[in-house]
């Protein structure tokens, strides 16, 4: 699938389901993750694995069991992968006491004065991009756009080529070594079809993970951001909500309390296939030039 990036990134979020051929599609559904109320309980990770029968960890992933630790605070899954579709990050920061949001903070001791350690916690997931490069590069159609605007892998027709892995600007999708196929969050497509919310959102005890029509979630997020700014949280920002960013906005977006890179997120993600149309155009012109040159040489030789 090719597109004019400048045209399709303008204005409000596009309609990816409609562009994929779904007629009379329901409103685009997605996630809003408010990290300011995440308590790091990992209920979302457990619910995701249980509902989707995702193994504890794949060969090559740093976690080999639910009780193992990585050395990164209480993070035992490290990042998203073929067997980790929800990842709760624990970011430890030392600095002045933050505005009281009810978040866990640990005093560093009397010799530290008024400095404290705080945890920034965030449950990461596939972004279900408006312009998904993984869809562009999949040669078998294993990756497809659903009527809800989400992106799903049909593992039964995945040939394990791995093209989708480097195509993802967020490093979300990955190959599971045990079976050689690509896996990632489906936004619980089977549950959506039955009118249920995804397992992770259902299990979240603080409503850090909210599921619903994307337009409604964006309005909720804007209100929450304004509230945090009024309370002095000047670094609070929305990530993945802007239709004018490099992927046309995400179907799963976040409220962060610090810069994206603090959470391990790319600050300026760009759909990696944006230059494909121009590349194919140049390739076609080059090929045509070669054909003309060969034909001219052949004709000249005959003479």
**Residue ranges per domain, the chain?**
5-271, 273-303
- pLDDT by residue (tens digit) across 180-228? 999 999 999 999 999 999 999 999 999 999 999 999 999 999 999 999 9
- Closest C-alpha among 135, 127, 178, 126 to residue 154: 135
Range in 6-10, 105-109, 242-246 the model is least confident about: 6-10
Q: What is the mean pLDDT of residues 164-168?
A: 95
pLDDT in the model for residue 78: 80
Contact 97, 107 (CB under 8 A): no
Q: What is the mean pLDDT of residues 278-296?
A: 56
Q: Is 50 exceeded by the pLDDT of residue 110?
A: no
pTM (two decimals): 0.78
What is the rounded CA–CA span in Å between residue 242 and residue 245? 6
pLDDT in the model for residue 26: 94
What mean pLDDT value characterizes the chain?
83
- pLDDT by residue (tens digit) across 247-265? 999 999 999 999 999 999 9
- pLDDT by residue (tens digit) across 49-64? 999 999 986 544 554 4
Q: Is 80 exceeded by the pLDDT of residue 24?
A: yes
Q: What is the CA radius of gyration of the chain?
A: 22
pLDDT in the model for residue 262: 93
**215 or 302: which carries more pLDDT confidence?**
215
What is the rounded CA–CA span in Å between residue 227 and residue 232? 9
CATH classification (class only), 5-271: alpha beta
What is the rounded CA–CA span in Å between residue 11 and residue 59? 43
Name the band, by pLDDT with cuts 50, 70 and 90, for residue 35: very high
**77 or 293: which carries more pLDDT confidence?**
77
What is the rounded CA–CA span in Å between residue 89 and residue 236? 17
Contact 209, 201 (CB under 8 A): yes
Q: Is 80 exceeded by the pLDDT of residue 302?
A: no
Q: Is 60 exceeded by the pLDDT of residue 5?
A: no
Q: Is 60 exceeded by the pLDDT of residue 168?
A: yes
**51 or 71: which carries more pLDDT confidence?**
51
Q: Is 50 exceeded by the pLDDT of residue 8?
A: no
> What SS3 class is residue 218?
helix
Buried b (16+ CB within 10 A) or exposed e, 105-135: eeeeeeeeeeebebbbbbbbbbbbbbbbbbb
pLDDT in the model for residue 208: 97
């Amino acid at each position: 699938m090719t597109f004019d990036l400048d045209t399709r990134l303008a204005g409000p979020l596009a309609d990816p389901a409609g562009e994929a051929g779904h007629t009379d599609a329901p409103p685009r559904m997605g996630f809003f993750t408010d990290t300011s109320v995440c308590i790091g309980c990992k209920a979302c990770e457990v619910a995701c694995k249980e509902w989707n029968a995702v193994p504890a960890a794949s060969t090559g992933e740093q976690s080999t069991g639910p009780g193992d630790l990585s050395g990164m605070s209480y993070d035992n899954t490290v990042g998203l992968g073929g067997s980790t579709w929800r990842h709760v990050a624990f970011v430890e920061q030392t600095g002045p006491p933050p505005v009281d949001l009810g978040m866990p903070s640990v005093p560093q001791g009397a010799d530290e004065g008024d400095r404290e350690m705080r945890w920034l916690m965030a449950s990461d997931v596939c972004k279900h991009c408006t312009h998904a490069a993984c869809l562009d590069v999949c040669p078998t159609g294993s990756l497809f756009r659903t009527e809800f605007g989400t992106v799903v892998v049909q593992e039964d027709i995945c040939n394990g080529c791995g093209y989708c892995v480097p195509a993802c600007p967020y490093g979300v999708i990955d190959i599971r070594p045990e079976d050689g196929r690509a896996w990632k969050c489906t936004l619980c497509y089977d549950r959506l079809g039955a009118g249920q919310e995804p397992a992770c959102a259902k299990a979240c005890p603080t409503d850090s993970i909210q599921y619903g029509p994307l337009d409604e979630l964006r309005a909720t997020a804007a209100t929450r951001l304004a509230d945090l700014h009024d309370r002095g949280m000047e670094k609070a920002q929305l990530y993945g909500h802007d239709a004018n960013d490099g992927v046309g906005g995400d179907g799963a977006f976040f409220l962060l309390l610090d810069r994206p890179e603090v959470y391990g997120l790319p600050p300026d993600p760009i759909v990696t296939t944006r230059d494909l149309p121009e590349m194919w155009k140049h390739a076609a012109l080059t090929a045509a030039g070669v054909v003309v040159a060969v034909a001219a040489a052949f004709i000249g030789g005959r003479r």
